Amino acid sequence: MDGFLKLVLTVSVVLTGVRNQADCSSLSLRRVSNAKVSGFSWKNCGQSDDPAVMMSLSLSPDPISIPGTLTASASGSTTVPLEAQLSLNVTMEKEVARIWVKIPCVEEIGSCHYRDVCDLLNQVIPPGPDCPEPLHTCGLPCHCPFKAGSYSLPKSDFYVPYMDLPFWLTNGNYRVQGVLGSGGKELGCLQVTLSIES
């Protein structure tokens, strides 16, 4: 999976608030069960000459139940290697009275700047001999560096477990934009919109 597909994973991690217990202890988290995520859509939001682009991304069913199983497929490409010191600028907004309001960065959740996506990936997927399934079977890498080229994840099922979310990250329409960069240069941009109901 190329770095831009990993951007989707990283945005998902930011959305779900996945952190270890020490990092979450001061957040007002609540256990989310029987939540529904619906209206998922995405688009590339970068320049036409950005080297990293998402070519397809599909999640089903609609709505997605939490906890529950979702089916995902994706493809993307990068014309440059994606190596250490990849940065990620995330802008998260919630629709309030038909106005998009920016959610500030609170303990690494919200509109945050992540200096090292490669390190973040190592926290989410601890380095080891093999990447987790279905990445391993599909021959997709899960850690930096990512070689230039095209990557594809065929339709695969994933289980979404119960999760803890900040109290403010429920019941509403959300828009999340992630800009991947390196050395001050934009490499790619992805925007995701969805609704959460719990």
- Answer yes or no: pTM beyond 0.75: yes
Number of other residues whose CB lies within 10 A of the CB of residue 108 = 16
Q: What is the pLDDT of residue 177?
A: 98
Average pLDDT, the chain: 83
Count the helices and strands in the chain (H runs, E runs). 4, 12
In sequence order, what are the beta bridge partners of 61? none
- The angle formed by the CA atoms of residues 107, 105 and 7, to the nearest 5 degrees, is 95
Domain boundaries, the chain: 3-197
Q: Beta strands 35-44 and 185-197: pairing type?
A: antiparallel
State pLDDT tens for residues 115-147.
999 998 998 888 887 888 888 888 899 999 999
* 181 within 8 A of 83, measured Cβ to Cβ: no
Find the length of the chain.
198
| CATH tag for 3-197 (out of 1.20.1530.20, 3.40.50.720, 2.115.10.20, 2.70.220.10) | 2.70.220.10
- What was the pLDDT predicted at 107? 80
Classify each residue of 132-169 as buried b or exposed e, where b means 16 or more C-beta atoms within 10 Å of its C-beta. Answer: eeebeeeebbbebebeeeebbbeeeeeebeebebbeeb
Q: What is the DSSP string of 99-121?
A: EEEEPB-BTTBSB-EES-HHHHH
Give the pLDDT confidence of 35-63 residue by residue, as tens digits.
899 999 999 999 999 999 999 999 999 99
pLDDT of residue 61: 96
In sequence order, the 6+-apart residues with CB closer than 8 A to the CB of 15 are 92, 169, 174, 176
